[in-house]
Amino acid sequence: MDETIYRGLNGVNVDTSQICFIDGDKGELIYRGYDIRELTEASYEEVVHLLWNGDLPTRAELEALRAEAQEDVVLPDGVVDLLRCMPAGAGPMHALRTAVSALAAFDPNPDGVDHENVRRIGTALLARMPVLVGTLQRLREGKEPVVPNPDLSIAGNFLYTLTGEEPSEAATKVMDVALVLHAEHGSNASTFVARSTASTLTDVYSAITAGIASLKGPLHGGANTGVMNALEEIGSVENVERYVLDTLAKPNGRIMGFGHRVYKVRDPRANILEHVAERLARESGESKWFEMSLEMERVMDREMAKKGREVKPNVDFFSASVYRMLGFPADMYTPIFAVARISGWMAHLFEQYADNRLVRPRLVYEGPRGKTFAPVDQRA
Ligand code: ACO
């Protein structure tokens, strides 16, 4: 029996995929043949079409996708009621995970895993996830939910349902870029979890709920909230160095927003988001978060170099200051990530259901052997 262990499944290929290619040494991220740097020109809807259908849409295909998504944009009343019942202090990722799971109960055919049904549910989730997150945030602020505006794009509607105000073109473009950059990333933890869950031929809602649960963790999508919490705790550029040194001195101390399993150089998404953050800082005059981020990278580079290591910013690092400058509270950053990643998760579920094999790795047993059973009263 082969007892080779790949901890954290590091370097293990579990299947083939047509969706995403990452070159971690060169810092390249490719969605279905297109470099991510070029895709920032596209709208999120165009990228969804690319991920789900294999290529960018024609105008007619784009309109069809938008129309299809509009059909399901309104949330069932029962799900809004469920969100209303959440205690004021409930974490937004807990609320989102619960609400997505609850959507299954309002679906007439939640369990079918044929392509047509999976596609129908995927389109409904694409439309509803931004509305769920927007509704969630409005309720937390003691405000009434906003009915989505069918004339707005997914990015526009997301901002609209969050704020209740029609967003500017500039803010919509920033949100579009953020959604595109976070849409897909190969066999990352949450996508692997979603695929593994689907591999039992359970339903889409269960697989996506599992994906959301995985994304929430601070080593994955939860890191963007962690970055903002750290920046808030640090408070000023002068305090950055002390914070980094103190954190690294702790056992297993981690600076959120740095490091990646696949990238050995700077994450290409961090490069793009750095430019966005820099522009927003300049335009808004609120440069503190961006300047603290640059200082954090400078100190991390220096400290990691001492250990002969390169631990570079990942996608979560600059997204924190971007979202801050768009006015979102820190604990909403991971739900925003989930809104974007629904497209990638669904692209992978299409692949998984189309050619399924149960995901079932093994553990090498190292526990005791050969023990003898004794009845309960005879045990010491
Ligand atoms: N801060 C400090 N040191 C780090 C960091 C970090 N953020 N990331 C990696 N390192 C160091 C580790 O201490 C480790 O050193 P060691 O070998 O002396 O123990 C070495 O780099 C390798 O790190 P691992 O944790 O073994 O790498 P792994 O591939 O398992 O982990 C991970 C990747 C979880 C992303 C890690 O870099 C990390 O914890 N980062 C902080 C959390 C974060 O930003 N997550 C978001 C990732 S992007 C995303 O999921 C969307």
Residue 364 is assigned to a structural domain of this protein: no
Same domain (yes/no): 189, 106: yes
With a CB cutoff of 8 Å and minimum separation 6, the contacts of 352 are 195, 198, 199
Nearest CA to ligand 1 atom 19: 252
With CA atoms as reference, report the closest residue to 170 among 284, 294, 319, 73: 284
* φ, ψ of residue 280 in degrees (nearest 5): -65, -40
Same domain, 74 and 141: yes
Do 24 and 97 lie in one domain? The reply is yes
User: Is the pTM here over 0.85, yes or no?
Assistant: yes
Q: Whose CA is nearest to atom 2 of ligand 1?
A: 254
Kindly state whether residue 183 falls inside one of the protein's structural domains. yes
**Hey, CA dihedral for 154, 212, 35, 267, is it positive or negative?**
positive
pLDDT in tens, 99-152: 999 999 999 999 999 999 999 999 999 999 999 999 999 999 999 999 999 889
Domain end point (choices 325, 344, 363)? 325
DSSP at 313: B
**146-189 pLDDT, tens digit each:** 999 988 999 999 999 999 999 999 999 999 999 999 999 999 99
CA angle in degrees (0–180, nearest 5) for 263-265-269: 70
Q: Say if residue 269 is in the same domain as residue 312.
A: yes
Q: Which ranges of 151-222 would DSSP assign to H, the alpha helix?
A: 154-163, 169-182, 189-198, 204-215
> How many structural domains comprise the chain?
2
Q: Is residue 7 part of a domain?
A: no
In a domain, 369, yes or no: no
Q: Read off the pLDDT of residues 275-290 as tens digits, 9 standing for 90 and up.
A: 999 999 999 888 999 9
| CATH code assigned at 260 | 1.10.230.10
Query: Are both 316 and 345 inside the same structural domain?
Result: no
Q: Quick check: is 294 in a domain?
A: yes
> Can you give the residue range of the structural domain that contains 242?
223-325
Q: Is 115 one of the catalytic residues?
A: no
* 29, part of any domain: yes
Quick one: average pLDDT of 213-230?
A: 98
- 131 and 268 fall within a common domain: no
145 lies in the same domain as 31:
yes
The secondary structure of 12-43 as a DSSP string is: ------SSEEEETTTTEEEETTEEHHHHTTS-
How many angstroms does the Cα of residue 257 sit away from the middle of ligand 1? 9
Nearest atom (ligand 1) to Cα of 248: 2
- The domain that holds 47 is classified in CATH as 1.10.580.10
Same domain? For 239 and 201 the reply is: no
pLDDT of residue 108: 97
> Which residue type does 196 have?
S
Q: Give the neighbor-by-neighbor strand order of the sheet with 34-35.
A: 20-23, 28-31, 34-35
Q: What is the pLDDT of residue 169?
A: 95
What's the gap in Å between 260 CA and the centre of ligand 1?
Answer: 6
* 191 plus 299 within the same structural domain: no
Half-sphere exposure for 302 (CA within 13 Å, toward CB): 9
**Considering the domain boundaries, does residue 376 fall inside one?**
no
Active site residue 77: no
Query: Best mutation site among 260, 304, 345 for ligand 1, i.e. most ligand atoms within 8 A of its Cβ?
Result: 260
Q: Are residues 86 and 148 in the same domain?
A: yes
**Domain identity same for 140 and 256:** no
- Residue 1: pLDDT band by 50, 70, 90 thresholds? confident
Ligand 1 atom closest to 188 (CA): 50
CA atoms in the 13 A half-sphere facing the CB of 292: 26
pLDDT band at 355 (very low <50, low <70, confident <90, very high): very high
Ligand 1 proximal residues by C-beta, below 6 Å: 8, 188, 219-221, 223, 254-261, 309, 311, 314-316
- Residues 201-218 have a mean pLDDT of 98
Q: Which of 6, 29, 219, 247 to mutate to test the pocket of ligand 1 (most atoms within 8 A of CB)?
A: 219
Q: Which of 305, 325, 345 is the last residue of a domain?
A: 325
pLDDT at residue 342 greater than cutoff 90: yes
Does any domain span residue 44? Answer: yes
Q: Measured in angstroms, how far is the CA atom of residue 168 from the centroid of ligand 1?
A: 37
**72 pLDDT higher than 90:** no
Average pLDDT (197-203) is 98
Q: Which residue has the higher pLDDT, 231 or 284?
A: 231
236 and 213 housed in the same domain: no
The mean pLDDT of 43-67, rounded to a whole number, is 98
